[in-house]
Structure 1
Amino acid sequence: MHRVIGERGLDGSRFSVEEALALYRDVVRTRRFDERALALQRRGWMSGYPPFRGQEASQVGAAHALAEEDWFVPTYRSNAMQIALGVPMSDILLFRRGHPEFASDHDLNVLPQAVPIATQIPHAAGLGMAADYAGDDAAICCYFGDGATSEGDFHEGLNFAGVFDAPVVFFCENNGWAISLPRERQTASETIAGKAEAYGFEGVRVDGNDPLAVRETVADALERAREGDPVLVESLTYRQGAHTTSDDPSRYRDDPDDLPAWRTADPLDRYETFLREEGVLDDQLADAIREDADAELEKAVDVAEEAPRPDPAEVFDPVYAEPSSRLREQRAWLESFAPEHDVYELEH
């Protein structure tokens, strides 16, 4: 288990003060985003939202490890990682309100979110194989949760990556729960990382509530991947909230689920305490970082609220080059239904 907090000071790590504070800023930014997004959903501003509270250090640490030429293959709970990579907060909010996912038309190497579980994993393996065939120096980081490792797509994607030496880091964020199932109920493997052995490459584990350790681990894994050695990283963190806003974790979970304190502790509080003890963070700087994050959020919400409402019929346009008969039937039904109902209001 790799970690920095509790084992090394900042002087004994690879990180400068500026790099350590940059991680902290993004952990704060993403925590404030998650809190605001959850509040907005609860008042009906958007139809649904997958919270990631407790997983910010894991995602921010991984995002900071990627080089500019690398590609990120996300899923629905990776919003913190996307924000840390530069995706505008307003894009994510607009996506949740029915707009195209990349409303700002950014040119980041970030693929669309995959909502079906594990379907993005073969895509990441194929993207890595394509980069290898093209002689590209890019590596691919594919994000997924522990529940995805029980899907067939996981095994197929990792098998292809192992056979064809694809430059992919499979970043599994083990937050303790596959929706309502604890890890021991959805896999008999002792660890997620150990699954990599079946595909001929290395699996490593990292303290996912330590952003410094995650950045080191993922950076090392990306360098190995660039040399043709895929890596499976298991980042051990904890899902503090619900699976989605339609979930009630009190029906199946008891806190703290008999997990060690380092794993269930709040990663923002833990990292802030570390930085204060290292003498690089004080009240004035912490307050300024929070104020900046809140100001950024206010602008993002304003952008989302000022955007014209999307036409519900536009959902059909990018599905096929030539619409199928079934798609035409569905569009005709919607167009006949929409004049009598405000579809946008029904959804939001």
Structure 2
Amino acid sequence: MDWMNNFKIKMKGIKTRLKKVNIPKSPPMLTIIEKTFFDLIKPIKFVVSLLIMLIQPLILIMSPLMIGFGSVSTINVDFGSISVEHAASIITIVLAYPLFSWTFGIVFTSILGIFGAPLVAEEVDSGTILILVSKPINRYKIFLAKYIALFLYGILLSFSIIFLVGWIALIRYSGNISHFIGILPFLFSLFLYAILLTLIFTSITLAFSSIFKKSRNAALAVILIVVLSFLGFPYIKALLQVNYERFQIYHFDIGYHLGNVFVLFIEIFDAIPPVAAWQIYFAQNFGVFKYVAYVDPDQNINLGGLEKTNYYLPVISLLIWIIIALLLLFYGFISIKKREIYR
């Protein structure tokens, strides 16, 4: 049994030496990012978010293919006998508008608002942030850590839903992997738009979370912006009709600017053919297109699709939203600095 006693003595010595070793800890900011991020991606919340985002695209994917301009008709397509480009065109035309208006319009932005609103407001109200500011990390870094965590959550959520929708559409229509490759430009352009949207609404959410004392009020403020953008202004546009342009409502129409940017990404990567089948929805609800076919002014030839309104150049709409996001981020920094957290 001597060998057993010797082994125990050696193990005790190793444990003693290990206790004396200073194992470096993660920097406080990284710790906050990690904790906040993993709180956001709890499995049940994440899966429920994906399912809600999937509702409208899934309904359209599982329904019979319908296409048309003015009158809608059901079509039968044999995906096994058409080219990859043709198949990709049909799939992207079906998915473009529901992904813009529902998945990334109403649901995704609302999720960022609901889950992001408590990140600052609730911790200030509960006094949890007192513990954080007592450590060697200032309020700016706390705010930035929360921002990065919510931004990463938005990127993960958007990537997951884009990948999921792409595969469901592939399985439903053809099962041919080459068709999935064919829609990659569309999925990539959608992901770039999602990154911009995440930047914008992360900034809006955390700015409101820094301003309002109650997280409920911050979440409601974000949801109000979402409803106004994707439901309110389309209703106003339908109500005013030609007066929408006459009174220049598009200056304040958040949905128009987002639609303008979305179409910009689609055009850059030539992700969807420029046809009226999908453009008509952006004309009706967001004013990105006119109800007029695009005609070459020199040869008087219909080039396909609808003519753009060009109230704003798409790049200008993009810059407007980037500037708004940066200003709100800066305002959030200032708000959390000035806000009294000692109760």
TM-score by length of 2: 0.25
Larger Rg: 2
TM-score by length of 1: 0.25
Higher normalized helix content (fraction of residues): 2
